[in-house]
Structure 1
Amino acid sequence: MPTFNNSAADAGEAYEALRALAHASRTFEDPSETYAVIGDLLGGLRSLRQVLDQLAAAHLSRQHQVTDESREYRGGSVEALAAADELHQAGTLIDQAHDRLNAAMTHSGRIVWNPHDRLVERWIGIVFLQGQEADKVLDLIDAKGAEAGIEHLSQWDYGTETTDAAMEGGDVHDSAPAYAGDRQAETGDYAMTYNPQAVHVALYRRHLIPAEDALNPPTEPDVPARRLAPARETTARRSGVREGGWFEHPGVTAVKQSRGLSL
Protein backbone atom coordinates (compact mmCIF):
# COMPACT_ATOMS: atom_id res chain seq x y z
CA MET A 1 0.00 0.00 0.00
CA PRO A 2 1.31 3.50 -0.77
CA THR A 3 2.43 5.54 2.24
CA PHE A 4 2.39 9.00 0.63
CA ASN A 5 5.20 10.01 3.01
CA ASN A 6 7.96 7.43 2.50
CA SER A 7 9.62 7.96 -0.89
CA ALA A 8 11.74 4.81 -0.76
CA ALA A 9 8.81 2.57 0.18
CA ASP A 10 6.48 4.09 -2.40
CA ALA A 11 9.15 3.76 -5.12
CA GLY A 12 9.32 0.05 -4.27
CA GLU A 13 5.51 -0.17 -4.53
CA ALA A 14 5.59 1.54 -7.93
CA TYR A 15 8.27 -0.86 -9.16
CA GLU A 16 6.25 -3.92 -8.09
CA ALA A 17 3.10 -2.48 -9.65
CA LEU A 18 4.90 -1.97 -12.97
CA ARG A 19 6.29 -5.51 -12.83
CA ALA A 20 2.76 -6.81 -12.27
CA LEU A 21 1.43 -4.70 -15.14
CA ALA A 22 4.17 -5.94 -17.47
CA HIS A 23 3.10 -9.50 -16.65
CA ALA A 24 -0.66 -8.86 -16.89
CA SER A 25 -0.47 -6.95 -20.18
CA ARG A 26 1.09 -9.83 -22.11
CA THR A 27 -2.44 -10.59 -23.32
CA PHE A 28 -5.69 -8.63 -23.37
CA GLU A 29 -8.85 -10.74 -23.38
CA ASP A 30 -10.82 -7.53 -23.83
CA PRO A 31 -8.75 -5.15 -25.99
CA SER A 32 -11.05 -2.26 -25.09
CA GLU A 33 -9.30 -2.25 -21.69
CA THR A 34 -6.15 -0.92 -23.38
CA TYR A 35 -7.65 2.57 -23.39
CA ALA A 36 -7.94 2.64 -19.59
CA VAL A 37 -4.44 1.22 -19.21
CA ILE A 38 -2.99 3.91 -21.47
CA GLY A 39 -4.84 6.54 -19.45
CA ASP A 40 -3.38 5.25 -16.18
CA LEU A 41 0.09 5.10 -17.71
CA LEU A 42 -0.34 8.67 -18.90
CA GLY A 43 -1.14 9.74 -15.36
CA GLY A 44 1.82 7.72 -14.17
CA LEU A 45 4.13 9.55 -16.55
CA ARG A 46 2.96 12.88 -15.21
CA SER A 47 3.71 11.72 -11.69
CA LEU A 48 7.06 10.34 -12.82
CA ARG A 49 7.92 13.70 -14.36
CA GLN A 50 7.16 15.37 -11.04
CA VAL A 51 9.27 12.81 -9.18
CA LEU A 52 12.25 13.46 -11.47
CA ASP A 53 12.00 17.20 -10.88
CA GLN A 54 11.82 16.66 -7.14
CA LEU A 55 14.80 14.32 -7.19
CA ALA A 56 16.78 16.90 -9.14
CA ALA A 57 15.76 19.60 -6.66
CA ALA A 58 16.90 17.42 -3.75
CA HIS A 59 20.36 17.08 -5.33
CA LEU A 60 20.64 20.80 -6.06
CA SER A 61 19.51 21.93 -2.62
CA ARG A 62 22.27 19.95 -0.95
CA GLN A 63 25.08 20.30 -3.47
CA HIS A 64 27.27 22.24 -1.02
CA GLN A 65 26.68 19.81 1.84
CA VAL A 66 27.92 16.59 0.23
CA THR A 67 31.28 15.11 -0.68
CA ASP A 68 32.40 12.57 -3.22
CA GLU A 69 33.96 9.20 -2.38
CA SER A 70 37.25 10.94 -1.61
CA ARG A 71 35.52 13.14 0.96
CA GLU A 72 35.97 16.18 -1.23
CA TYR A 73 33.21 18.80 -1.04
CA ARG A 74 34.05 20.12 -4.49
CA GLY A 75 33.73 16.64 -5.96
CA GLY A 76 30.43 16.08 -4.17
CA SER A 77 29.05 19.35 -5.54
CA VAL A 78 30.05 18.37 -9.08
CA GLU A 79 28.37 14.96 -8.77
CA ALA A 80 25.20 16.49 -7.32
CA LEU A 81 24.99 18.99 -10.20
CA ALA A 82 25.62 16.22 -12.73
CA ALA A 83 22.93 14.02 -11.20
CA ALA A 84 20.44 16.91 -11.20
CA ASP A 85 21.24 17.66 -14.84
CA GLU A 86 20.69 14.01 -15.88
CA LEU A 87 17.41 13.93 -13.98
CA HIS A 88 16.28 17.07 -15.81
CA GLN A 89 17.30 15.46 -19.12
CA ALA A 90 15.30 12.37 -18.20
CA GLY A 91 12.35 14.65 -17.45
CA THR A 92 12.61 16.14 -20.93
CA LEU A 93 12.47 12.65 -22.43
CA ILE A 94 9.47 11.86 -20.24
CA ASP A 95 7.76 14.92 -21.72
CA GLN A 96 8.31 13.50 -25.19
CA ALA A 97 7.03 10.08 -24.12
CA HIS A 98 4.02 11.79 -22.51
CA ASP A 99 3.14 13.53 -25.79
CA ARG A 100 3.44 10.28 -27.74
CA LEU A 101 1.39 8.36 -25.20
CA ASN A 102 -1.23 11.09 -25.15
CA ALA A 103 -1.52 10.88 -28.95
CA ALA A 104 -1.79 7.09 -28.72
CA MET A 105 -4.60 7.45 -26.19
CA THR A 106 -6.45 9.82 -28.53
CA HIS A 107 -6.28 7.32 -31.39
CA SER A 108 -7.15 4.37 -29.16
CA GLY A 109 -10.20 6.24 -27.89
CA ARG A 110 -11.59 6.38 -31.42
CA ILE A 111 -11.56 2.59 -31.82
CA VAL A 112 -14.72 0.51 -31.54
CA TRP A 113 -13.26 -2.82 -30.47
CA ASN A 114 -16.43 -4.90 -30.55
CA PRO A 115 -18.66 -3.31 -33.19
CA HIS A 116 -22.08 -4.97 -33.05
CA ASP A 117 -23.34 -2.81 -35.89
CA ARG A 118 -20.49 -3.57 -38.31
CA LEU A 119 -21.70 -4.07 -41.87
CA VAL A 120 -20.32 -6.31 -44.58
CA GLU A 121 -20.78 -5.99 -48.33
CA ARG A 122 -22.78 -8.44 -50.39
CA TRP A 123 -24.07 -8.35 -53.97
CA ILE A 124 -27.65 -9.25 -54.84
CA GLY A 125 -28.83 -10.30 -58.28
CA ILE A 126 -31.05 -7.81 -60.08
CA VAL A 127 -31.51 -9.43 -63.48
CA PHE A 128 -29.88 -12.08 -65.68
CA LEU A 129 -30.56 -11.95 -69.44
CA GLN A 130 -29.58 -14.29 -72.26
CA GLY A 131 -30.26 -14.74 -75.94
CA GLN A 132 -32.29 -12.05 -77.73
CA GLU A 133 -32.93 -10.04 -74.55
CA ALA A 134 -29.20 -9.99 -73.84
CA ASP A 135 -28.41 -9.12 -77.47
CA LYS A 136 -30.32 -5.85 -77.14
CA VAL A 137 -28.36 -4.85 -74.05
CA LEU A 138 -25.05 -5.95 -75.57
CA ASP A 139 -25.77 -3.81 -78.64
CA LEU A 140 -26.54 -0.90 -76.33
CA ILE A 141 -23.26 -1.43 -74.48
CA ASP A 142 -21.36 -1.62 -77.75
CA ALA A 143 -22.96 1.59 -79.03
CA LYS A 144 -23.10 3.74 -75.88
CA GLY A 145 -20.84 2.09 -73.32
CA ALA A 146 -21.14 0.03 -70.17
CA GLU A 147 -22.82 2.78 -68.13
CA ALA A 148 -25.70 2.89 -70.59
CA GLY A 149 -26.09 -0.86 -70.18
CA ILE A 150 -26.14 -0.55 -66.39
CA GLU A 151 -28.69 2.25 -66.55
CA HIS A 152 -30.90 0.15 -68.81
CA LEU A 153 -30.70 -2.93 -66.59
CA SER A 154 -31.41 -0.92 -63.45
CA GLN A 155 -35.08 -0.73 -64.53
CA TRP A 156 -35.37 -4.27 -63.15
CA ASP A 157 -34.39 -3.01 -59.69
CA TYR A 158 -37.44 -2.45 -57.50
CA GLY A 159 -35.57 -1.67 -54.30
CA THR A 160 -36.72 -3.62 -51.25
CA GLU A 161 -38.83 -5.98 -53.36
CA THR A 162 -35.80 -6.92 -55.43
CA THR A 163 -33.66 -7.31 -52.31
CA ASP A 164 -36.27 -9.61 -50.76
CA ALA A 165 -36.46 -11.57 -54.00
CA ALA A 166 -32.70 -12.12 -54.02
CA MET A 167 -32.66 -13.12 -50.35
CA GLU A 168 -35.57 -15.50 -50.87
CA GLY A 169 -33.99 -17.12 -53.91
CA GLY A 170 -30.40 -17.21 -52.61
CA ASP A 171 -29.18 -14.83 -55.31
CA VAL A 172 -26.71 -13.19 -52.89
CA HIS A 173 -22.93 -13.23 -53.44
CA ASP A 174 -19.73 -12.14 -51.73
CA SER A 175 -18.78 -10.39 -54.97
CA ALA A 176 -20.50 -9.88 -58.31
CA PRO A 177 -20.15 -13.27 -60.05
CA ALA A 178 -17.98 -13.40 -63.15
CA TYR A 179 -17.22 -16.45 -65.25
CA ALA A 180 -14.73 -17.32 -67.96
CA GLY A 181 -14.80 -14.69 -70.69
CA ASP A 182 -17.05 -12.30 -68.76
CA ARG A 183 -16.40 -8.57 -68.69
CA GLN A 184 -17.30 -6.39 -65.73
CA ALA A 185 -18.22 -2.76 -65.16
CA GLU A 186 -19.29 -0.87 -62.04
CA THR A 187 -21.21 2.36 -61.53
CA GLY A 188 -22.16 3.47 -58.04
CA ASP A 189 -23.74 0.51 -56.24
CA TYR A 190 -24.25 -1.50 -59.44
CA ALA A 191 -21.96 -4.07 -61.01
CA MET A 192 -22.63 -5.54 -64.44
CA THR A 193 -21.13 -8.66 -65.97
CA TYR A 194 -21.58 -9.38 -69.65
CA ASN A 195 -20.25 -11.73 -72.28
CA PRO A 196 -20.84 -11.05 -76.00
CA GLN A 197 -19.63 -14.54 -76.95
CA ALA A 198 -21.87 -16.42 -74.50
CA VAL A 199 -24.60 -13.79 -75.07
CA HIS A 200 -25.55 -13.09 -71.49
CA VAL A 201 -25.58 -10.04 -69.25
CA ALA A 202 -26.33 -9.66 -65.54
CA LEU A 203 -26.71 -6.80 -63.08
CA TYR A 204 -25.97 -6.90 -59.35
CA ARG A 205 -26.44 -4.32 -56.62
CA ARG A 206 -24.27 -3.74 -53.56
CA HIS A 207 -26.12 -4.55 -50.34
CA LEU A 208 -24.86 -4.08 -46.79
CA ILE A 209 -25.88 -6.49 -44.04
CA PRO A 210 -24.93 -6.81 -40.35
CA ALA A 211 -21.74 -8.82 -39.93
CA GLU A 212 -23.42 -11.31 -37.60
CA ASP A 213 -25.94 -12.13 -40.34
CA ALA A 214 -23.29 -12.82 -42.97
CA LEU A 215 -22.88 -16.37 -44.19
CA ASN A 216 -20.04 -17.79 -46.25
CA PRO A 217 -21.73 -19.91 -48.93
CA PRO A 218 -19.72 -22.58 -50.78
CA THR A 219 -17.79 -21.33 -53.77
CA GLU A 220 -19.73 -21.66 -57.00
CA PRO A 221 -18.00 -23.62 -59.80
CA ASP A 222 -16.49 -21.44 -62.48
CA VAL A 223 -18.64 -22.80 -65.32
CA PRO A 224 -20.35 -20.60 -67.93
CA ALA A 225 -24.14 -20.82 -67.83
CA ARG A 226 -26.00 -22.68 -70.55
CA ARG A 227 -27.79 -20.64 -73.15
CA LEU A 228 -31.50 -20.53 -72.46
CA ALA A 229 -34.54 -19.07 -74.17
CA PRO A 230 -34.96 -16.11 -71.85
CA ALA A 231 -37.52 -13.71 -73.29
CA ARG A 232 -40.52 -15.26 -71.57
CA GLU A 233 -38.53 -15.94 -68.40
CA THR A 234 -37.45 -12.29 -68.09
CA THR A 235 -41.03 -11.12 -68.48
CA ALA A 236 -42.13 -13.57 -65.82
CA ARG A 237 -39.65 -12.26 -63.32
CA ARG A 238 -40.52 -8.63 -64.01
CA SER A 239 -44.25 -9.20 -63.57
CA GLY A 240 -43.64 -11.39 -60.53
CA VAL A 241 -41.83 -8.61 -58.74
CA ARG A 242 -44.41 -5.98 -59.65
CA GLU A 243 -47.36 -8.15 -58.65
CA GLY A 244 -45.81 -9.55 -55.50
CA GLY A 245 -45.70 -13.18 -56.72
CA TRP A 246 -42.88 -15.70 -56.47
CA PHE A 247 -39.72 -13.60 -56.78
CA GLU A 248 -37.14 -15.77 -58.48
CA HIS A 249 -37.71 -15.92 -62.22
CA PRO A 250 -37.28 -19.24 -64.09
CA GLY A 251 -34.14 -17.97 -65.82
CA VAL A 252 -32.29 -17.74 -62.51
CA THR A 253 -33.62 -21.16 -61.49
CA ALA A 254 -32.36 -22.70 -64.70
CA VAL A 255 -28.98 -21.07 -64.33
CA LYS A 256 -28.71 -22.40 -60.76
CA GLN A 257 -29.56 -25.89 -61.99
CA SER A 258 -26.89 -25.65 -64.67
CA ARG A 259 -24.36 -24.60 -62.01
CA GLY A 260 -25.39 -27.37 -59.64
CA LEU A 261 -26.78 -24.95 -57.03
CA SER A 262 -30.39 -26.13 -56.81
CA LEU A 263 -31.52 -28.53 -54.12
Structure 2
Amino acid sequence: MPTFTDPVAGATEAYEAMRALAHASRTFDQPEDMYGVLGDLLGSVRSLEQVLTQIATAHENLCDRAADDAGDRAAGVRDALATAGELQQAAALIGEAERRLDAASAAAGRIAWPPTIEVQEDAGRVINVVFLQGGEADRLLDLIDHGGADAVIQELAGYDSGDETVDAALENGYVYDTPPQGSLDRTVQLDAYTLVYNQDHRHLGLYRQADALPSPVLLGLEDPRHAATTAELPSSATAAASGVRAGPILAREAARVESRRERLGAPHIHRQQPGRQAGRGLGR
Protein backbone atom coordinates (compact mmCIF):
# COMPACT_ATOMS: atom_id res chain seq x y z
CA MET A 1 0.00 0.00 0.00
CA PRO A 2 1.61 3.35 -1.00
CA THR A 3 2.59 5.51 1.98
CA PHE A 4 3.74 8.61 0.03
CA THR A 5 6.05 9.32 2.97
CA ASP A 6 8.38 6.29 3.23
CA PRO A 7 10.85 6.11 0.29
CA VAL A 8 12.26 2.76 1.43
CA ALA A 9 8.85 1.08 1.48
CA GLY A 10 7.91 2.75 -1.81
CA ALA A 11 11.09 1.48 -3.52
CA THR A 12 10.44 -2.05 -2.26
CA GLU A 13 6.87 -2.01 -3.54
CA ALA A 14 8.01 -0.62 -6.91
CA TYR A 15 10.59 -3.39 -7.24
CA GLU A 16 8.06 -6.12 -6.46
CA ALA A 17 5.55 -4.61 -8.88
CA MET A 18 8.14 -4.54 -11.69
CA ARG A 19 9.11 -8.15 -10.95
CA ALA A 20 5.45 -9.17 -11.23
CA LEU A 21 5.04 -7.21 -14.48
CA ALA A 22 8.17 -8.76 -15.98
CA HIS A 23 6.70 -12.19 -15.30
CA ALA A 24 3.17 -11.39 -16.46
CA SER A 25 4.21 -9.62 -19.69
CA ARG A 26 5.87 -12.70 -21.18
CA THR A 27 2.60 -13.33 -23.04
CA PHE A 28 -0.47 -11.28 -23.89
CA ASP A 29 -3.71 -13.19 -24.46
CA GLN A 30 -5.36 -9.93 -25.54
CA PRO A 31 -2.89 -7.86 -27.63
CA GLU A 32 -4.97 -4.71 -27.19
CA ASP A 33 -3.95 -4.76 -23.51
CA MET A 34 -0.41 -3.80 -24.48
CA TYR A 35 -1.40 -0.18 -25.14
CA GLY A 36 -2.64 0.28 -21.60
CA VAL A 37 0.51 -1.33 -20.19
CA LEU A 38 2.67 1.05 -22.24
CA GLY A 39 0.71 4.00 -20.86
CA ASP A 40 1.33 2.89 -17.29
CA LEU A 41 5.00 2.24 -18.02
CA LEU A 42 5.32 5.72 -19.50
CA GLY A 43 4.08 7.20 -16.25
CA SER A 44 6.41 4.94 -14.28
CA VAL A 45 9.44 5.99 -16.32
CA ARG A 46 8.61 9.66 -15.82
CA SER A 47 8.38 9.07 -12.07
CA LEU A 48 11.66 7.14 -12.15
CA GLU A 49 13.41 10.09 -13.78
CA GLN A 50 12.08 12.34 -11.05
CA VAL A 51 13.15 9.93 -8.31
CA LEU A 52 16.71 9.69 -9.66
CA THR A 53 16.99 13.47 -9.88
CA GLN A 54 15.72 13.87 -6.32
CA ILE A 55 18.15 11.28 -4.92
CA ALA A 56 21.00 12.96 -6.78
CA THR A 57 20.05 16.31 -5.26
CA ALA A 58 19.89 14.75 -1.80
CA HIS A 59 23.42 13.40 -2.18
CA GLU A 60 24.64 16.87 -3.13
CA ASN A 61 22.80 18.65 -0.30
CA LEU A 62 23.87 16.19 2.37
CA CYS A 63 27.41 15.53 1.18
CA ASP A 64 28.93 17.42 4.18
CA ARG A 65 27.58 14.67 6.44
CA ALA A 66 29.18 11.84 4.41
CA ALA A 67 32.27 9.84 5.41
CA ASP A 68 33.77 6.45 4.52
CA ASP A 69 33.95 3.45 6.87
CA ALA A 70 37.17 4.79 8.34
CA GLY A 71 35.57 8.14 9.15
CA ASP A 72 37.31 10.05 6.36
CA ARG A 73 35.00 13.00 5.63
CA ALA A 74 36.83 14.04 2.44
CA ALA A 75 36.39 10.56 0.98
CA GLY A 76 32.72 10.59 1.93
CA VAL A 77 32.12 13.95 0.23
CA ARG A 78 33.91 12.73 -2.88
CA ASP A 79 31.80 9.58 -3.10
CA ALA A 80 28.55 11.47 -2.41
CA LEU A 81 29.24 13.91 -5.24
CA ALA A 82 30.25 11.04 -7.54
CA THR A 83 26.97 9.31 -6.73
CA ALA A 84 25.04 12.48 -7.49
CA GLY A 85 26.81 12.84 -10.85
CA GLU A 86 26.09 9.27 -11.90
CA LEU A 87 22.45 9.58 -10.87
CA GLN A 88 22.09 12.74 -12.91
CA GLN A 89 23.49 10.89 -15.95
CA ALA A 90 21.07 8.04 -15.31
CA ALA A 91 18.17 10.49 -15.08
CA ALA A 92 19.19 11.99 -18.43
CA LEU A 93 19.21 8.53 -20.03
CA ILE A 94 15.84 7.74 -18.49
CA GLY A 95 14.59 11.00 -20.01
CA GLU A 96 15.63 9.76 -23.45
CA ALA A 97 13.96 6.41 -22.76
CA GLU A 98 10.81 8.30 -21.75
CA ARG A 99 10.74 10.09 -25.12
CA ARG A 100 11.17 6.79 -26.97
CA LEU A 101 8.48 5.14 -24.90
CA ASP A 102 6.15 8.07 -25.54
CA ALA A 103 6.65 7.62 -29.30
CA ALA A 104 6.08 3.87 -28.99
CA SER A 105 2.87 4.45 -27.03
CA ALA A 106 1.62 6.87 -29.69
CA ALA A 107 2.30 4.32 -32.44
CA ALA A 108 0.69 1.51 -30.43
CA GLY A 109 -2.42 3.65 -30.01
CA ARG A 110 -2.93 3.57 -33.79
CA ILE A 111 -3.00 -0.23 -33.95
CA ALA A 112 -6.27 -2.11 -34.39
CA TRP A 113 -6.04 -5.75 -33.33
CA PRO A 114 -8.54 -7.94 -35.26
CA PRO A 115 -10.10 -10.84 -33.35
CA THR A 116 -8.10 -14.04 -33.41
CA ILE A 117 -9.34 -16.54 -35.97
CA GLU A 118 -8.93 -20.09 -34.73
CA VAL A 119 -7.48 -22.44 -37.30
CA GLN A 120 -6.50 -26.06 -37.25
CA GLU A 121 -3.17 -26.64 -35.58
CA ASP A 122 -1.39 -27.80 -38.72
CA ALA A 123 -3.09 -25.45 -41.19
CA GLY A 124 -0.76 -23.25 -43.19
CA ARG A 125 2.41 -24.04 -41.26
CA VAL A 126 5.53 -23.61 -43.34
CA ILE A 127 8.67 -25.32 -42.08
CA ASN A 128 12.30 -24.68 -42.93
CA VAL A 129 13.96 -27.73 -44.47
CA VAL A 130 17.48 -26.32 -44.67
CA PHE A 131 19.23 -22.93 -44.54
CA LEU A 132 22.71 -22.26 -45.93
CA GLN A 133 24.76 -19.10 -45.91
CA GLY A 134 28.26 -17.85 -46.72
CA GLY A 135 30.66 -20.46 -48.00
CA GLU A 136 28.13 -23.28 -47.58
CA ALA A 137 25.76 -21.51 -49.97
CA ASP A 138 28.25 -20.34 -52.62
CA ARG A 139 28.20 -23.46 -54.80
CA LEU A 140 24.41 -23.66 -54.89
CA LEU A 141 24.02 -19.93 -55.53
CA ASP A 142 26.39 -20.31 -58.49
CA LEU A 143 24.37 -23.32 -59.63
CA ILE A 144 21.26 -21.11 -59.79
CA ASP A 145 23.04 -18.98 -62.42
CA HIS A 146 24.26 -21.96 -64.45
CA GLY A 147 21.77 -24.78 -63.89
CA GLY A 148 18.66 -22.95 -62.74
CA ALA A 149 16.85 -22.77 -59.43
CA ASP A 150 15.00 -26.05 -60.04
CA ALA A 151 18.29 -27.94 -59.92
CA VAL A 152 19.08 -26.35 -56.55
CA ILE A 153 15.65 -27.25 -55.17
CA GLN A 154 16.11 -30.85 -56.31
CA GLU A 155 19.44 -31.03 -54.49
CA LEU A 156 18.21 -29.34 -51.30
CA ALA A 157 15.20 -31.66 -51.24
CA GLY A 158 17.72 -34.32 -50.24
CA TYR A 159 17.82 -32.67 -46.81
CA ASP A 160 14.11 -33.37 -46.32
CA SER A 161 13.71 -36.32 -43.98
CA GLY A 162 9.96 -36.02 -43.85
CA ASP A 163 8.43 -36.25 -40.40
CA GLU A 164 11.87 -35.97 -38.83
CA THR A 165 12.42 -32.61 -40.55
CA VAL A 166 9.00 -31.37 -39.43
CA ASP A 167 9.73 -32.42 -35.85
CA ALA A 168 13.14 -30.69 -35.93
CA ALA A 169 11.59 -27.47 -37.29
CA LEU A 170 8.89 -27.50 -34.60
CA GLU A 171 11.45 -28.15 -31.87
CA ASN A 172 13.75 -25.33 -33.01
CA GLY A 173 11.05 -22.80 -33.89
CA TYR A 174 11.62 -22.74 -37.66
CA VAL A 175 7.89 -22.60 -38.42
CA TYR A 176 6.24 -19.71 -40.28
CA ASP A 177 2.94 -18.59 -41.80
CA THR A 178 4.75 -17.95 -45.09
CA PRO A 179 8.37 -18.49 -46.11
CA PRO A 180 10.38 -15.60 -44.56
CA GLN A 181 11.54 -13.25 -47.29
CA GLY A 182 13.56 -10.02 -47.22
CA SER A 183 12.98 -7.12 -49.57
CA LEU A 184 15.89 -8.20 -51.81
CA ASP A 185 15.27 -11.97 -51.61
CA ARG A 186 14.01 -13.93 -54.59
CA THR A 187 11.74 -16.97 -54.49
CA VAL A 188 11.19 -19.96 -56.76
CA GLN A 189 8.59 -22.68 -56.28
CA LEU A 190 8.84 -26.29 -57.39
CA ASP A 191 6.33 -28.91 -56.35
CA ALA A 192 5.80 -28.55 -52.58
CA TYR A 193 8.97 -26.51 -52.06
CA THR A 194 9.77 -22.80 -52.03
CA LEU A 195 13.37 -21.68 -52.45
CA VAL A 196 14.25 -18.27 -50.98
CA TYR A 197 17.68 -16.95 -51.92
CA ASN A 198 19.76 -13.78 -52.03
CA GLN A 199 22.81 -13.57 -54.28
CA ASP A 200 24.12 -10.38 -52.64
CA HIS A 201 23.83 -11.55 -49.03
CA ARG A 202 24.88 -15.11 -49.99
CA HIS A 203 22.20 -17.18 -48.34
CA LEU A 204 19.38 -19.51 -49.38
CA GLY A 205 16.73 -21.56 -47.64
CA LEU A 206 14.27 -24.27 -48.64
CA TYR A 207 10.75 -24.31 -47.18
CA ARG A 208 7.58 -26.38 -47.53
CA GLN A 209 4.21 -26.71 -45.86
CA ALA A 210 4.38 -29.08 -42.92
CA ASP A 211 1.50 -31.20 -44.23
CA ALA A 212 2.66 -31.26 -47.86
CA LEU A 213 3.54 -34.54 -49.57
CA PRO A 214 6.45 -33.73 -51.92
CA SER A 215 7.06 -35.57 -55.16
CA PRO A 216 8.74 -38.97 -54.62
CA VAL A 217 11.18 -38.03 -57.39
CA LEU A 218 12.29 -34.90 -55.53
CA LEU A 219 12.60 -36.88 -52.31
CA GLY A 220 14.80 -39.46 -53.98
CA LEU A 221 12.28 -42.27 -53.43
CA GLU A 222 11.58 -42.83 -57.11
CA ASP A 223 13.86 -42.88 -60.15
CA PRO A 224 12.72 -40.07 -62.51
CA ARG A 225 13.64 -42.25 -65.52
CA HIS A 226 10.99 -44.79 -64.53
CA ALA A 227 8.42 -42.47 -62.98
CA ALA A 228 6.49 -41.77 -66.19
CA THR A 229 6.51 -45.32 -67.56
CA THR A 230 5.63 -47.13 -64.34
CA ALA A 231 2.80 -44.71 -63.70
CA GLU A 232 1.17 -45.83 -66.96
CA LEU A 233 1.56 -49.56 -66.28
CA PRO A 234 -0.95 -51.59 -64.26
CA SER A 235 0.38 -53.00 -61.02
CA SER A 236 0.95 -56.51 -62.37
CA ALA A 237 2.69 -55.20 -65.48
CA THR A 238 4.92 -52.98 -63.41
CA ALA A 239 5.92 -55.91 -61.24
CA ALA A 240 6.58 -58.06 -64.25
CA ALA A 241 8.71 -55.37 -65.89
CA SER A 242 10.85 -55.11 -62.77
CA GLY A 243 11.26 -58.86 -62.49
CA VAL A 244 9.79 -59.26 -59.00
CA ARG A 245 6.76 -60.98 -57.54
CA ALA A 246 3.75 -58.66 -57.57
CA GLY A 247 1.67 -59.77 -54.61
CA PRO A 248 3.42 -59.07 -51.27
CA ILE A 249 5.75 -56.34 -52.57
CA LEU A 250 3.02 -54.30 -54.21
CA ALA A 251 0.77 -54.79 -51.18
CA ARG A 252 3.46 -53.44 -48.85
CA GLU A 253 4.13 -50.49 -51.17
CA ALA A 254 0.41 -49.68 -51.45
CA ALA A 255 0.06 -49.80 -47.66
CA ARG A 256 3.05 -47.49 -47.24
CA VAL A 257 1.68 -44.93 -49.70
CA GLU A 258 -1.79 -45.12 -48.19
CA SER A 259 -0.38 -44.60 -44.70
CA ARG A 260 1.42 -41.47 -45.89
CA ARG A 261 -1.71 -40.13 -47.50
CA GLU A 262 -3.81 -40.78 -44.40
CA ARG A 263 -1.39 -38.80 -42.27
CA LEU A 264 -1.54 -35.91 -44.75
CA GLY A 265 2.03 -35.19 -43.81
CA ALA A 266 5.53 -35.72 -45.01
CA PRO A 267 6.78 -39.28 -45.40
CA HIS A 268 8.99 -40.82 -42.73
CA ILE A 269 12.29 -41.24 -44.54
CA HIS A 270 15.56 -42.64 -43.25
CA ARG A 271 18.57 -41.86 -45.43
CA GLN A 272 21.93 -40.20 -45.44
CA GLN A 273 21.93 -36.43 -45.91
CA PRO A 274 23.73 -35.15 -49.03
CA GLY A 275 27.06 -33.54 -48.30
CA ARG A 276 27.81 -31.87 -45.00
CA GLN A 277 25.17 -31.21 -42.36
CA ALA A 278 23.58 -27.80 -42.68
CA GLY A 279 22.53 -25.35 -40.03
CA ARG A 280 18.84 -25.09 -39.29
CA GLY A 281 15.63 -26.84 -40.12
CA LEU A 282 17.47 -30.10 -40.85
CA GLY A 283 15.76 -33.28 -39.82
CA ARG A 284 18.12 -35.62 -37.99
Q: What is the TM-score of this pair, normalised by structure 2? A: 0.40
Q: Bigger radius of gyration, 1 or 2?
A: 1
Q: What is the TM-score of this pair, normalised by structure 1? A: 0.43
> Using CA pairs below 8 Å that are at least 6 residues apart, which structure has the higher relative contact order?
2
